[in-house]
Amino acid sequence: AGGGPLLPDSVLYEIFLYLDHVDVLSVGLVCQQWHAVARDEFLWKELFYRYYRVSREVPRHPAAVSWYEEFQRLYDTIPCVEVQALKEHNDQVLHLSFSHSGCLFASCSKDCTVKIWSNELDISLQHSSNMRPYNWSYTQFSQFNSDDSLLLVSGVFVGPHNSSSGEIAVISMENFTLLSRVRNKPYDVFGCWLNETNLISGNLHRIGRITSCSVLWLNNAFQGIESENVNVVKRLFKIQNLNASTIRTVMVADCSRYDSPDLLLDYEEQLAASSTCPVFDLGSDSEEEEAKPKQTPEPAVQELPDEGGVTPEDGLQQFFDDIMEGRVRPAMTETELETKVAELFVRSRTKPPELSLLPTDTNTKTKYLIFTTGCLTYTPHQIGIKRILPHQMTTAGPVLGEERRSDEFFDSLDHVIDVHGHIIGMGLSPDHRYLYVNSRAWPRDCVISDPMQPPPIAEEIDLHVFDLKTMKEVKRALRAHRAYTPNEECFFIFLDVSRDFVASGAEDHHGYIWDRHYNICLAKLQHDNVVNSVAFSPVEQELLLTASDDSTIKVWRSPRAVRLQQARKPRSRKLLFSWLMNQRS
């Protein structure tokens, strides 16, 4: 309406050359008839599919009114114009997080500070907290609570004899004071908020050389203030780890948002759900293999076969007897023996999983605890999901959590997703309906014989999408970004999801933006080193931040936002006076 398309003639001319039925002469004529072009839906549909290279099987975005407006959206609303570079950090910037209001954001860095920024027309530093006085090596992650009154900051803590662990600090946004500190082991659990005043941390207990137990704790943010008569910590879950795996990267999804998603994706390919404890295997790339029934990889906690009433305790004793009498063939290594004993033990000491994980009308207050884990090697290759019920969302009650029978020593996972590769990033859509996962794939049909020697990982990063309402993968993996570090040096690359876009960092010195509906890469954002983290403004998806090992935070806005920002800036009175004098003369 009004002035027609906002695209410049040169760009429109170049686009029209993609059309076979439009010659150069007609292009020139069409460019002069803006209103006619804007009304030609067939023309803009052809332009859209050809210019953005979208499969014609993909329908138009459900919220789009016309093909012209959809073309304009992808051209004009992508935050790909650098408008500011923040250089207040003096070392690698590892993570970015916005407040829910979008007025503030926090940054974490290897310089061991967490900085709070004011998100105005020109972004400015509001506060900086140095964590070195608390023996921290660096800050690595932050998250605002739901009302933006508190900031969770996760970092690496140097303990006795220079041993490294993790710690979580809670900072008040009212006066930037430190309210409490909570140990967090291993440090790449990161931690997260469960609700306004309670946060989740982790602890790790070694049982054997490659066997351990992860304990997830619920902590009150005001531990240094609450009365001694009030519980400020409670155990949520206790989960056994096999083959040197551990629980890492915890986050919470709110099931109550599922029925009103911001964007309901139109999926063409879905993986079939598995049986009791569903496990998705993403090792296959070909459509022919996806059409075949798949063998389900073993979950971290296996099912005992029916052996005619033999109890797990009898099975463990029988296994020991077989070893002593030489009936176990072939001979087991020490690692295989430890794993087998741990598996047999956990079967008789684990609380059964929930019968159904899918949300219903009666459990809309339920939340999911989501984390990375594994069952074959120490690198995180599975996503574990555990339901958190309403009565578990407070530190009130028994300190060690809900009462359980003596034989329920461990908690089982309610759901497991196996991505057949090294997971290096996860992010939730704003409505918490979809989980986006960065992973580097293992070779197809690889066999892991030693948990301390995982398979080599691909340089290409796959971005998978899972529907948390149906527990199914919903789209083919997005690709464009790359990483180069091997398994033992691989690090987390944070991604973020807005209403229409998903963005991620990469080791190839770029940030990337994809469209969630069309599954296409829209922009590459240049840095001078590895891009560790990206963050969309939660109230303005045309604003994106990127953080890099080059010690800078870059601010990116869409072409439309840049035009509007420039239009708001008042003209200099000196320039205006000069123009008036020229007009008089």
Where are the extended beta strands (E) located within 345-455?
350-351, 367-373, 382-388, 410-411, 415-418, 421-428, 434-441
The pLDDT of 310-326, averaged and rounded, is 56
The answer to whether 301 and 412 have CB atoms below 8 angstroms apart is yes
3-state SS assignment for residue 44: helix
| Digit-coded pLDDT (tens) for 124-165 | 999 999 999 999 999 999 999 999 999 999 999 877 766 678
Cα separation of 158 and 166, whole Å? 8
Structure tokens that stand for 356 in this block: 């159904």
Place of tokens 């020139």: 28
- Check pLDDT > 60 for residue 78: yes
- Check pLDDT > 50 for residue 5: no
Structural domains of the chain sorted by starting position, each given as residue range(s) with its CATH number in brackets = 9-77 (1.20.1280), 81-261+365-401+410-567 (2.130.10.10)
- Check pLDDT > 50 for residue 283: no
- Check pLDDT > 60 for residue 553: yes
Structure confidence at residue 490 (pLDDT): 75
| Strand 233-241 to 248-254 pairing | unpaired
| Digit-coded pLDDT (tens) for 504-540 | 999 999 999 999 999 999 999 999 999 999 999 999 9
The pLDDT of 166-192, averaged and rounded, is 95
| Digit-coded pLDDT (tens) for 323-382 | 555 655 556 676 766 676 666 666 666 777 665 555 554 455 789 999 999 999 999 999
| Digit-coded pLDDT (tens) for 220-253 | 998 765 555 567 899 999 999 999 999 999 999 9
For residue 506, give every residue at least 6 positions away whose Cβ sits within 8 Å of its Cβ, in sequence order, or none.
461, 481, 482, 483, 493, 512, 530, 531
Q: Specify the pTM.
A: 0.81
| Digit-coded pLDDT (tens) for 435-464 | 999 999 999 989 998 999 999 999 999 999
Predicted confidence band of residue 488 (pLDDT cuts 50, 70, 90)? confident
Predicted confidence band of residue 277 (pLDDT cuts 50, 70, 90)? very low
- Check pLDDT > 90 for residue 315: no
The pLDDT of 388-397, averaged and rounded, is 84
Quote the DSSP letter at residue 4. -
The pLDDT of 484-492, averaged and rounded, is 78
Cα separation of 555 and 540, whole Å? 13
Structure confidence at residue 28 (pLDDT): 47
Q: In the beta sheet, which residues pair with residue 475? A: 465
